[in-house]
Structure 1
Amino acid sequence: MKRKPQLLIAATSSGCGKTTFTLGLLRALRKRGLSVASFKCGPDYIDPKFHALASSPSLEELHLHTSINLDQYMMSSEHLREVYTRHSKAADAMIVEGVMGLFDGATRMQGSSASLAQTLDIPVVLLVNAASSAYSVGALIYGFAHWKPDVQIAGVIFNRVASESHYRFLVEAAEDAGVPSLGYIPRTQLLDVPSRHLGLSLSELERLDELPESIATLIEQHVEVNRLLELCLRPTPPQPIATSQESTQGNLRISVARDEAFNFIYQENILALERLGEISYFSPIRDRALPATDLVYLPGGYPEFYLEQLSANAAMREQIYNYVLGGGKVLAECGGMMYLCRTIIDEAGTSYPMCGVLDNEATMEEMKLSLGYRSVHTAGLTLRGHEFHYSKLKHTGSEDNIAQQHNARGIEVPTAMYRKGNVIAGYTHLYWAEQNILDLWSAQDNEEANA
């Protein structure tokens, strides 16, 4: 059986430089002429954009290098393995960026980087922040290597290393911990990953392109890349059998909002929508007309950074309002839901008119983070998703809450899912790649008919 380099880049904690190292390694392998399939552990939307930038020869080819989310809370194990295998088929190597510390999960190890590595049966390359440390890191490495023996740690990379003499202490520590040291990234302020709000437009991505290039240069100088790839060789995953669902093709016209303000989109959700029909993309910022459509998907993003542009495009706001008035189906998540409200209020208290579909106001005043996995129960259906936002709804409108939601520990949370006509909206970013999202409407209609 053919073998390919496959690895999960993990760390002892958040802030150790996982994203920095991942971007550099992706760019270094691309410069070696390798095609790399990249993945992100968890529900993160921003890191996959950075992955695509690091893997693509040009900004025009970003769409060909999509990084895929792998999330054990939102995805079944069978679906997760199928997704990993399918996207790895044409790749020369596979790289997964982990989340938080190696063993940190929603509950104990559930959904952690370590658990994902176990599920995919791939080794871990552990990143250690070596700032202000020397031989003592050996105890840390030993603990990580032996805490869960069935998690394979292929080697360790040190970040923020002060000098070659500093690195020699670290090598000795790794040797005595029984874990190969594969190199280091020197301490420099040039490699800080920029604001999570950046990278949303092509112009911003063009400015960010220097970051993976700089990291790749340091990796080639200080990391044993060939040895890393050799230690991480694993058998190619068996190719999945195509399902009947994948072979069907619907005839719906589907419109997806995608621009700087709305771009928190799971690629597997898009593939699921493609099975239902033909997708057209539109920009609520720039486009004046909504495509002819049977379903509109308004994903999350950062509408709060583009309030003037969204509000100024009255033609699009009116188009969406009239589409909904005529009975059109809309699924709106987080920022997409905010766009459907009467207004969005910024941090300073300034109000910007939006679509007026929902009898609510969204506000960024007195921001407070709402974060966590969500299990959504509505009309006999259960969907999984993730909530992440700083805004809140200022007033409760006339829309009905049609769902009960729980966090990863099974505790009920007050997050609502609203329905008004054929609009279904809420703060939770849903993952529906294993389901037919149209069931959301049919289940609600059946429940109302049987009431």
Structure 2
Amino acid sequence: MKHSFLIAAPSSNSGKTIVTLGLIMALRNLNFNIQPFKCGPDYIDPLHHSQVAGVQSYNLDVWMSDEAHINAVYGEQMQKADIGIVEGVMGLFDGAKKDTGSSAEIARILDLPVVLVVNAAATAYSVAPLLYGFKNFNKNIRVEGVIFNKVSGDSHYQFLKEAAEDAGVVALGYIPKNDKLTLESRHLGLSLTENDQMLLAVDEAAKLIEQHVNLEHLLQITQREIVSFSNEERPVRKKEIRIAIAQDEAFNFMYPANVDRLKEIGDIMYFSPLYDNDITECELLWFPGGYPELFAPQLAANTDMLNAIRRFEKLGGRIVAECGGMMYMGKSVELKDGSVHPMLGLIDYETSIRNMKLKLGYRSVEIDRQLFKGHEFHYSTVSNDCAEKADAWVQTARGATADMAIYRTNNIWASYFHIYLGEKDKMENFIQMMLRGGSPM
């Protein structure tokens, strides 16, 4: 028997991320092994989970993958853990279409009890109907407990506790109002300063949780048996391809399930475009998403690395570049101050963050008669665009046409698309497409 639960909220900005991170640290302080997960396609929260938990956090997304894959990922990763903590996305029932793809759907698929985080800063007994509604709206979803956030003190909590009891939900405790718990805007986050601030906030949250949340009761109501699912068995293949993945402060957003699949079909190594001056011998380079705009001067100054990658591509090496990696493939990156920094110039476009504009959402891409799913999230824009675009059919989760380009040459796949290839055979099909080469324009 182990413990596992899903942290959700009535809406975004309720505090579920800082509560999740605080719970991970508080339970680790009690010598439990924690396995974190994140509902949805987010890349940033899992990085924070991994840093605090000491193990890789995995995405569970019912739009980018099917239920069998979610069960497999969850079952596999829970084998070495004592406690599984799944952080939800947005409000509990918010999905791509109604509640499809929502945190509630993940809770249903995995039969997880739900612990709500409720922002109680401006309410008291009125949370009773709110909790009652969330508990009874869908009988397939087990809302078992609640942690109240931004509570004024014990007297305020007593009103909230009585409301929870009357709604049939276990009140597990509260987090007092505390300015130290604020996590800053993350769109250009993960700089060293912001990372230190995040860790300080998590440490403070863990201390408050240890004082005001009944962790023993939380574990009592979340005890369950974890089954290891084997319905995604993959045959053992010869590792005949060598793949080098960029990994440093500039490039760090890659779905861990993708890396797991790559390890099954190739030998994996890592390199740093920021600090290394050459790349190891390989057949394919993979540049994940990240923050190249925060390190544009350093990337531009590392001419040895730029030239090594250019030689690799000229000699027929294959390259996959996601989002931040795509920015690195272009001619240059323009920063907010108007400065322009040269990049690889392997594809004839430029990118800029001078006039930042958020674009995000699920994307499906049909190319070479294959369908791939993933997510788009970025603030940069493409300027001086080029004609090197694949004939790809790109849609949103609701079936509308999306204008996200796939840049494709004989050797390169580059796009703002964070592609999800964790499901059975998806990665192998994608790699085979890359190795065949050719620009389907």
User: Is TM more than 0.5 here?
Assistant: yes
Q: 2:40 aligns with which of 39, 42, 45?
A: 42
Aligned residue in 1 for 2:324: 335
Partner of 2:365: 376
Deviates more, 1:369-378 or 1:346-355: 346-355
Partner of 2:298: 309
Q: Distance in 2 between matches of 1:275 and 1:364?
A: 37
Q: Which residue of 2 aligns with 1:105?
A: 95
Matching residue's letter, 2:383: K
The SS at the match of 2:349 is strand
The aligned residue for residue 82 of structure 1 is 72
**Do the aligned residues in 1 keep the contact of 2:408 with 2:439 (CA within 8 Å)?**
no
Moved more, 323-332 or 188-197: 188-197
Deviations 1:196-253 (CA, angstroms, capped at 9, x unpaired)? 244455x8645543322221111111111111111111222244267233x3242211
CA contact (8 A) 1:369 1:388 kept: yes
Partners of 2:165 and 2:141 in 1: CA distance: 19
Match of 1:240 among 215, 224, 230: 230
The CA distance in 2 between the partners of 1:444 and 1:218, in whole Å, is: 50
Q: Equivalent residue of 1:244, what SS?
A: coil
Instruction: Indicate the residue corresponding to 2:5 in structure 1.
Output: 7
Correspondent of 2:128 among 127, 138, 160: 138
Query: What does residue 391 of structure 1 align with?
Result: 380
Distance 1:444 1:161, change over 3 A: closer
What is the one-letter code of the residue matched to 2:292?
P
Cα distance change on mapping 1:444 and 1:259 into 2, 3 Å: closer
2: distance between equivalents of 1:392 and 1:147? 41
SS of equivalent residue, structure 1 residue 405: strand
Q: Which amino acid aligns with 1:237?
A: V
Q: Secondary structure at the match of 2:169?
A: coil
Supply the distance in 2 between the matched residues of 1:291 and 1:200 (Cα, whole angstroms): 27
Q: Which aligned pairs between 1:31-430 and structure 2 lie closer than 5 A? A: 31-56=29-54, 65-196=55-186, 197-199=188-190, 205=195, 208-240=198-230, 243-245=233-235, 247-430=236-419
Counterpart of 1:60? none
Q: CA deviation at 1:355?
A: 0.4
User: CA separation of 1:112/1:227 partners in 2, compared to 1, >3 Å: closer, same or farther?
Assistant: same
Q: Secondary structure at the match of 2:397?
A: coil
Q: Distance in 2 between matches of 1:121 and 1:180?
A: 18
CA RMSD across the alignment: 2.0
State the TM-score, normalized to the length of structure 2: 0.95
Other-structure match for 2:26? 28
Deviations along 1:394-440, one digit per CA (max 9) or x if unpaired, are 12213132311100001111111111121111110001122343534
Match of 2:53, as an amino acid? Answer: S
Structure 1: give runs of 5+ residues left out of the alignment. Answer: 57-64
Q: Label 1:174 to 1:381 Cα distance change in 2 as closer, same or farther (>3 A).
A: same
Letter paired with 1:115: E
- Residue type matched to 1:32 in 2? L
Amino acid at match of 1:12: P
* Partner Cα distance (2:280, 2:433) in 1: 27
Structure 2 stretches lacking a partner, 5+ long: none
Take 1:449 and 1:176, find their aligned partners in 2: how far apart are those partners? Answer: 63
TM-score by length of 1: 0.93
Q: Is the 8 A contact 1:422 1:441 kept in 2?
A: no
SS of structure 2 residue aligned to 1:12: coil
Letter in 2 for 1:6: S
The separation in 1 between residues aligned to 2:23 and 2:238, in whole angstroms, is 38
Which residue identity is paired with 1:229? L
Contact 1:49–1:199 at 8 Å: present in 2 too?
A: no
Output the CA distance in 2 between the equivalents of 1:130 and 1:374: 35
How far does the alpha carbon of each residue in 1:50-102 deviate from its partner, in whole angstroms, 9 at most, with x for none? 1122223xxxxxxxx11111111111110110000000001111110101111
Letter in 2 for 1:192: T
Instruction: Give, in angstroms, the shift of residue 143 of structure 1.
Output: 1.1
The 1:446–1:19 alpha-carbon spacing in structure 2 relative to 1, beyond 3 Å, is closer
Identical pairs, percent: 43
Provide closer, same or farther for how the CA distance between residues 316 and 11 of structure 1 changes in structure 2, counting only shifts above 3 A.
Answer: same
Of 186-195 and 367-376, deviating more is: 186-195
Q: Which moved more, 1:10-19 or 1:340-349?
A: 340-349
